[in-house]
Structure 1
Amino acid sequence: MRRLAFLAGLAGLVALWAFAARESLPAILPGPLAVAKALGTILSERTFWTETLLPSLGRAAAGLALAFPVGAPLGLLGWRWPAVSAFFAPLRLILMGMPAPILAILCILWFDGGTVTVILTVAALLLPVFQLATAEGMSAIDRQLAEMACVFRVPAARRLHRIVLPAVWTALGPALRIALANALRVTLLTELLSGAEGLGSAVQSAQSWLQTDRLFALVLIILALIGLAEAGLTSLLRERKRS
């Protein structure tokens, strides 16, 4: 039933899009067929996969890979020693409150404006997400259950698997969903502002040359990537709950 409702909503959006496109110029709002044709052209280009898509995905993944091993330990330390959390609170508030475009511009000014800039921007914006999620997950551990496990001398590995990780995952799982989507969004934004090769640069090029059908096709690809990432993590979360 939910799938049918989703498909019905999607069909309604496409129908509305097609109707609006007939009342607009193609350079302003291309129709679904024109965008589908542009999408097929993009996907058939080998350079799109090697010089546009892969660099952006690599930068987003590298930003995540840098943010997690820094943010998670900071969250763990802040949970164990509140003074550590208070010490890093000003930096966390700055990173969480600063708009992504401003941080991206600052990183472009401070660094080379290429791959390093994109990775550092992604990592800086996602670091507080993992820090807070880890701290909240550790706070969700059932103290009585943990004490009981210690009394009965449950092996540390079993306590970690059965008590600690499930509690941490309740906060870290949703945080990963947010981080995955935001990693790609921030990557595109920084590439767009810095001119680095990738999806952001492709979007800027399509906009500059008024290739609106290609621009819409790139947007569909970006939305599909975010949707696939979130669907994969949602499936992982469900499997984790069942186990």
Structure 2
Amino acid sequence: MSAPRYLLGAAACIVALVAGWHQLSLGRSPAVMPSPAETLTAWWGLLVDGTLAVELAITLGRAAAATGAALVVGVLIGWAASVSAVADGFLAPLRAILQGLPPIVLIVCLVLWFGSDPAITIVVTATVMTPLVAAATTAALRAVDPHLRELAAGLRLSRTRRIMFVIGPAVLPPIVGAAGAVASGAVRVAVMAELLSAPDGVGAAIAQARTLLQTPELFAWALTIISAALVVDVAIRFLVGRWSALFSPGEGAVSARTPADTKSR
């Protein structure tokens, strides 16, 4: 894929979206449809007075905590389902409930039971994201080449070496992909949960902007959270991708063990 052409296509799409947004805002009140310029002005005001940084940091912190919990619990559930048919059957109804339960229902129930508590945001977000990690982990473990497992057993590799050099390289890429999707999705779910259950964060700021009919601020928060979700997704994929490369033997390692005076015959 050509990077310049890809960037050109992305830029063209953004320009088209902004132009369409501008056309829709013509002749309309900012309380109904603010223009891109009015939204940018509102965003700059939130940035200057520090509101944007404070509320965004709170939301991203909750999303990060929920993502960590979802990864840990999801990997454990996925591993259990892949090694035991009994565990897989036992967990199947739980996975179905978590996948089919609308987040808004869970939020409303938790608010009714525990009141407005910022911890609700973390619980809801982790609950929604866990099935994605579990499904990716189960599929990845079941897809490990059985011949590689047999080879590792024949070589009498320790459990740690099997995980690092056989199972890890096969399982890590799907989990990395799931981690990026879970992290960006956690940001969006966290905002929705904050909208109904938290006194602070981006969701609470959106609720306040909606109540006061500050639509430019509402649009500014929406653009902020979209951008944050994209940045989080790209950053996690990059960092975990670099880390996972440590487990893959590179050409340098092979060439380093080849005698310098070896000649082709």
TM over 0.5: yes
Aligned residue type for 2:38: A
Q: Which residue of 2 aligns with 1:180?
A: 183
RMSD: 1.8
1:209-220 alignment, distance < 5 Å: 209-220=212-223
Shift of 1:201: 0.6
Shift of 1:159: 2.6
Bigger Rg, which one: 2
2:228 aligned with 1:225, yes or no? yes
2:10 aligned with 1:18, yes or no? no
User: Segments of 4+ in structure 1 off by > 6 A?
Assistant: none
CA distance in 2, matches of 1:4, 1:87: 50
**What is the total number of aligned residue pairs between the two structures?**
242
Deviations 1:104-124 (A, max 9, x none): 111222223212211111111
Q: Which residue of 1 aligns with 2:101?
A: 98
Q: Which residue of 1 aligns with 2:173?
A: 170
Q: Please tell me whether the aligned partners of residues 73 and 131 of structure 1 are also in contact (alpha carbons under 8 angstroms).
A: yes
2:17 aligned with 1:28, yes or no? no
TM-score of the pair, normalised by structure 1: 0.92
Q: Which residue of 1 aligns with 2:56?
A: 53
- Report the identity percentage: 31
CA distance in 2, matches of 1:109, 1:85: 32
Match of 2:203 among 176, 183, 200: 200
SS of match in other structure, 1:170: helix
2:136 aligned with 1:142, yes or no? no
Q: Please tell me whether the aligned partners of residues 35 and 216 of structure 1 are also in contact (alpha carbons under 8 angstroms).
A: yes
SS of match in other structure, 2:25: helix
Q: Where in structure 2 are there 5+ consecutive unaligned residues? A: 249-265
SS of match in other structure, 1:23: coil
CA distance in 2, matches of 1:87, 1:124: 18
CA distance in 1, matches of 2:75, 2:163: 16
CA distance in 2, matches of 1:48, 1:4: 30
Deviations 1:155-195 (A, max 9, x none): 44333222211221232122112211221111111111124
CA distance in 2, matches of 1:237, 1:53: 23
Q: Please tell me whether the aligned partners of residues 107 and 120 of structure 1 are also in contact (alpha carbons under 8 angstroms).
A: no
Q: Where in structure 1 are there 5+ consecutive unaligned residues? A: none
